[in-house]
A and B are shown apart, each in its own frame.
Chain A
Amino acid sequence: MTEQVRPVTLVVNGTGHRITVPVRRLLSDALRHDLGLTGTHVGCEHGVCGACTVLLDGLPVRSCLLFAVTVDGADITTVEGLAAADGTPHPVQQAFTECHALQCGFCTPGFMTTIAAALQDNPDPDEEQARAIIGGNLCRCTGYQNIVKAVVRAAAIARERA
């Protein structure tokens, strides 16, 4: 069959993009291949690892479990959109640096988007809540301890900056 294509508008990190994609294009691939935003990583591609997590209208979702056509017009935040316009790292990014919360870095974009959204809901998580926040993201390097510390530290940085 001839592959069906559709025009899609995505507002990614505040910038509107008009792309024409095959209807089966996953949002993760639209971000990476069509928009060149390779910060979003694709791990398992069936919703288990969390590496591809982006914010859809402010809420974390798996971009590998969405078709680009189904989120036409939506507002999307990727890891590239977390830092401030002047380049100041997001509190989560600063916390990851301070706490050495990444090693190879493959899973990191998914953790950062997930944590950034969770801190909007809960600006002062304890360690147990931090573990729950990152429960849907896999990391094969760190053993998670420093990521848990980074969640708590990111919340503190956000408060310090406020």
Chain B
Amino acid sequence: MKPAAFTYHDPRTVEDALRVLADVGDEGKVLAGGQSLLPILNMRLASPAHLVDINKVAGLSAVSADAGGVTVGATARHTEVERDEAAYAVQPLLRQALRLVAHPAIRNRGTTCGSLAHADPAGEMTAVLALTGGAVRLRTSTAEREVAAADFFLGPLESCLRPGELLVSVHFPAFPAGTGTAFVEVARRHGDYALCGVAAAVTRDGDGTVTSARAAYISVSPTPLVLDLTDAAPDWAAAGRLARERVDPEADIHSTVAYRRQLVEVLTVRALTAGVAA
């Protein structure tokens, strides 16, 4: 199918974009990579009156990394983040997760900020933001605020983004020294939405003792779920059982509740084991 008609805006500066977004209010939708938005428009699940295309806005495409973490601008493509060596050195979980986001042709266009704004509970980057304790920067024509992952996601496909607001960048903090990370998932088909996905971060001190073992989950909760499994460390089988008890997934046509719980346990063990080895 084809999208319904809309009024198109392609501002060249952030200020112009924010002015247009303020004008169109809740009748406006931001277009970045469009890899989630276009299917929705094509299938006419949504028909916003105004599309504000930010692809031509200057100054939003940067990926920058320093010792504190990685900052990604609103129009930086998944592929650019995935291939950025400095970003990988500081926060390897980004590349580990991005390899599982759809297919290369989607990642070449889709944006990391856009996938967060979309707030799909199956979206890998929501778990990365939650596990790293990152934050998004939101701007309107008159104000700016930074919102932590825990406050940003409100429910499936729902964030705290308000009409007129633009997600201009996201910051993924680095983990402490001695941290290993991994992202594992199970999907029905390669590149398809995961039935369950787990991001893990395991921190050890100089003696090799685990000081922190945490995991974040996709597709098993309305918003990304973060579990602290440090108490079970280094018995990862016990950590898997602990995680299984603490999730409350729903059934859908792809998976039963019991199967999702099973995936949570198995993938928790795999992710923590891989995180320790990383």
Contacts and interface: CB of A to CB of B under 8 A. Distances in A.
Contacts of A56: 108-109
B105 interface: yes
Contacts of A66: 34, 38, 109
A62 B10 contact: no
A108 interface: no
Given A45-B42, A61-B105, A135-B190, A70 B55 contact: yes
Nearest to B53: A70
Interface stretch (B1-9, B162-170, B211-219): B1-9
Main secondary structure of the interface of B (DSSP, over half): loop
B108 A61 contact: yes
Interface in B53-84: 53, 55, 79
A59 B108 contact: yes
A136 B1 contact: no
Contacts of A4: 5-8
A105 B108 CA distance: 25
B39 A65 contact: yes
A140 to B, nearest CB: 14
Contacts of A135: 103, 190-191
Nearest to A48: B39
Interface in B239-267: none
Contacts of B39: 46-47, 65
B115 to A, nearest CB: 14
Interface in B1-37: 1-8, 10, 31, 34-35
Contacts of A67: 8, 31, 34, 38, 53
A13 to B, nearest CB: 19
Nearest to A131: B190
Contacts of B8: 4, 6, 23-24, 67, 69
A64 interface: yes
A62 B35 CA distance: 9
Nearest to A71: B55
Contacts of A50: 103, 105
Contact of B191 (A26, A59, A136): A136
Main secondary structure of the interface of A (DSSP, over half): mixed
Contact of A1 (B2, B5, B105): B5
B10 A59 contact: no
A65 B104 contact: no
Contact of B38 (A65, A69, A132): A65
B102 interface: yes
B34 A136 contact: no
B105 A24 contact: no
A3 interface: yes
A24 B55 contact: no
Contacts of A114: 105
Interface string A83-126: 00000000000000000000000000000001000100000000
Contacts of A64: 38, 42
Given A46-B39, A47-B35, A67-B34, A62 B106 contact: yes
B160 interface: no
B165 to A, nearest CB: 21
Contact of B5 (A3, A45, A47): A3
B278 interface: no
A23 B52 CA distance: 12
A22 B38 contact: no
A155 B42 CA distance: 36
A24 B34 contact: no
Interface string B108-142: 11000000000000000000000000000000000
Interface of B: 1-8, 10, 31, 34-35, 38-39, 42-43, 51, 53, 55, 79, 102-106, 108-109, 190-191
Interface of A: 1, 3-4, 6, 22-24, 26, 29, 45-47, 50, 53, 56, 59-62, 64-67, 69-70, 114, 118, 132, 135-136
Given A6-B8, A60-B104, A135-B191, 9 more contacts: A1-B7, A24-B4, A45-B42, A60-B108, A62-B109, A66-B34, A70-B55, A114-B105, A135-B103
